[in-house]
Homo-oligomer: A and B are copies of this chain.
Amino acid sequence: MAADSVHSTYPPKLSPAQEQFLVSTIKDWTIEHGLTVRPPVTFVSQEAVSKGVLATNAPVTLFPSPFPKACFEEARAAQKVYNELYARITMDEKWLGEVIEELIDVDDFVAELWKVHLAVQKQGYVQDLSLGLFRSDYMPHTLSGSQTSSLKQVEFNTISSSFGGLSSRVAALHSELLTSPPGHSLSYPAHPLFDGRVPPENTAVETLSAGLAAAHQAYGPSKSTPPLPLCILFVVQEGERNIFDQLALSTRLSSFHKISVFRLITSEILDRTSIAENNPLRPLIYNPPHAENSPFEVTTVYLRSFYAPTDYKSDRDWSARLQLELSAAIKCPTVLNQLSGCKKIQQVLADPNRPDHLSRFVPTEETQEQLRRTFAPQYDLSSNSRGRELALNPERAALHVLKPQREGGGNNIYKDAIPAFLRSMPESDWKGWVLMELIQPPTEASNVVLRSDGEVVSGNVVGELGIFGTILWKSNGEILHNEEGGWLMRTKGKESNEGGVAAGFSSLDSVILY
């Protein structure tokens, strides 16, 4: 089926009574099943929010979005290769260091992270295991009139890859709506795409938790004298609104894997954790505030914070990150693994005009080609480069997006706006930017979204598919665990992707494969 024809009749029109039924069913289902977020202060008063008890539905689409089956399967098939690619980049400190050092004077955040690595290196790393919980994000590149789409990677996430927990629940919500009431399927109006179809199984929670459990297991016995009980530590942001996504993993770890999990906000790391003095193995000790005399030894630090510059409010936060990195706990991720997720790395790998690097990390030509097919061309802007040529030519620029390397450093610049934007800054700053060929998702895709404040918005959308994967490796190159499983469909109002006013919406979705 051509993407255009799929989207032109989708989603089916809703009568007011049908919309009312769907919206109220979803409002109730989300709360019943924990498909929730804490409400923003824009919706509920600061006073009510401060009580910490209110919740509302995560923003979700009323309908699952059609997605090409071949692209979905291609993305899944590539995940374990991607896992290994990023593990091997992380192990290759020399290669990684050369790319990162180029960024140090244009990206303070990268520079600070690199300093943490150097400080740990000085004392010596005591943990040779690393854990990655990754998510590779894609769009189906769909040229107008074409019968098929090709899968293109938008970005690869090596830290705090989120929405595994909630995404599984959205798939369950849409599956239930597609098949209810039992035997009759009347919740949605009839549509050919719905005939017998439900979203594919989504094992994100099981997969991500199993990755953390594998690290916990691989850590081995306590390194403390006397030995301490072991735990996994989730390092989180204060006032996290997306907490229920994270709890899906910790609940699975404690109920299924029988592993102790604690949550710790970044500002309390130095108060609550310590590295045992005089123990060259440097076990990381966690003291729960509610059980002062029951210290635990941390096998695995799972970061759901520390991924953005804003997570480091002072030097104390950098000291906290350093303490974690120095310790014997397995980090998910290490500083080096976090750095491997820089946009610059993705550009270096995907630059069609630069020497090939993929063969350094990916074993066979076949698997290299498997990844290369998912790359959208990306360029740096160095003098006389192809990237600079494309970016300054208005006609060619129109097919591209300019992305800042600097984390949290601002928004993307789109199409015609690129040449003037570049000319407004000194050329010496250009190396802080990456030029990427625009991926063209289906133009007619649309959906209806229930926002967290109860408003219902419909319109043209762009969907991004994320595939989750986990990998546990030793610095000597040995890979102990490499799994793929679970996915995320995130759907955004089209305006917000065009560099226009951010009047759009971003919501959790699922897929119907066609």
Contacts and interface: CB of A to CB of B under 8 A. Distances in A.
Interface of A: 15, 17-18, 20-22, 24, 27-28, 31-34, 36, 39, 43-45, 48, 51-57, 176, 180-184, 186-187, 229, 231, 243-244, 247-248, 251, 254-255, 258-262, 288-292, 294, 452-455
Contacts of A248: 32
A442 B55 CA distance: 36
Interface of A is mostly: loop
A261 B445 CA distance: 33
Given A18-B290, A36-B31, A289-B21, A52 B454 contact: yes
Contacts of A229: 183-184
Nearest to A289: B17
A43 B262 CA distance: 31
Given A17-B290, A21-B289, 4 more contacts: A15-B290, A32-B34, A44-B44, A184-B229
A342 to B, nearest CB: 33
Contacts of A183: 229, 258, 260
B247 A28 contact: yes
B52 A27 contact: yes
A257 to B, nearest CB: 8
Nearest to A44: B48
Contacts of A18: 290-291
Contacts of A294: 184, 186
Contacts of A231: 181
24 contacts: A21-B289, A21-B290, A24-B52, A28-B244, A31-B31, A31-B53, A31-B55, A31-B244, A32-B34, A32-B251, A34-B34, A43-B48, A44-B54, A45-B45, A51-B453, A51-B454, A55-B56, A181-B231, A181-B260, A181-B261, A182-B258, A184-B229, A184-B260, A187-B290
Contacts of A20: 289-290
Nearest to A188: B290
